[in-house]
Amino acid sequence: MNLQQIRDTAFAMPLTNPSYPPGPYKFANREYMVITYRTDMDALRAVVPEPLEVTGPVVKYEFIRMPDSTGFGDYTESGQVIPVSFEGRKGGYVHAMYLNDDSPISGGREIWGFPKKLAEPCLHVEKDTLVGTLNVGSIQVASGTMGYKHRELDFQQVRQSLLAPSYLLKIIPHVDCTPRICELVEYYLEDVTVKGAWSGPAALELHGHALAPVANLPVLEVLSASHILADLTLGLGKVVHDYLPHFK
């Protein structure tokens, strides 16, 4: 393969058989359980990177079921999103994500900088309860429960919340293990159609794990919970801050 062929075909790793196709990526019947809880403000400040600003002692713990996604297939995800502001725009900083499918782990990390790691999340219904769990190997590190479809939410308000910006810290190392890329990325969900949205009573437990430290943002009080079903497109991102000049 000559130099021109490499330039023309190179997209992602591996060169001749990338782990995922080019985006953007469409999701049908994406199902969320989001439990919003109060946590320790100092713990939040310790993990949210400048120039993002923490807006309050709040975390959104998410369990997301994705049965139909272009390029990525059928998988489930779980993690923590922290409400923040950036240059006056309110959004969410994606702090941790755990999922059970290789291609969205690779694509999410390499394209946007999603903080994805391999684990075994699950979201399902048990009789009258929506149940989310996150296992890392044999250890359960998160469990959330919510009353199933107790109260319907306003679809337009839910849609607006999904359209808010999200932020990621994208880090790719150089061959000498210094940072080659260190950027703050902003992205949006697009073409959002809310097909169902409900609230209900909820509970959340987080447990310590050396390599999945979700419990480092402790649950002090559950504030609210939502159960959402939507079709949407995961839009490609843009770099809004480059950290590397500050390292030099």
Q: With contact defined as beta carbons under 8 Å apart, do 189 and 231 qualify?
A: no
Q: In angstroms, how far is CA 219 from the centroid of its own chain?
A: 19
Q: How many residues does the chain have?
A: 248
DSSP at 175: T
Q: With contact defined as beta carbons under 8 Å apart, do 131 and 205 qualify?
A: no
Cα–Cα distances (Å) from 154 to 36, 180, 238, in that order, read: 17, 44, 30
Q: In angstroms, how far is CA 244 from the centroid of its own chain?
A: 24
Whether 238 is catalytic: no
Residue from 116, 127, 149, 170 carrying the catalytic annotation: 116
Of 235, 243, 97, nearest to 171 by C-alpha is 243
Beta strands in the chain (DSSP E): 25-38, 53-54, 58-69, 73-86, 89-99, 116-118, 120-126, 129-136, 139-147, 151-152, 166-173, 179-187, 189-199, 202-206, 221-234, 238-242
| Helix extents (H) in the chain | 3-9, 41-45, 102-107, 155-162, 244-247
**Phi/psi class of residue 113: alpha, beta or left (left: φ > 0; alpha: ψ in -120 to 50)?**
left
The single-letter code of the amino acid at 99 is L
Active site residues: 116
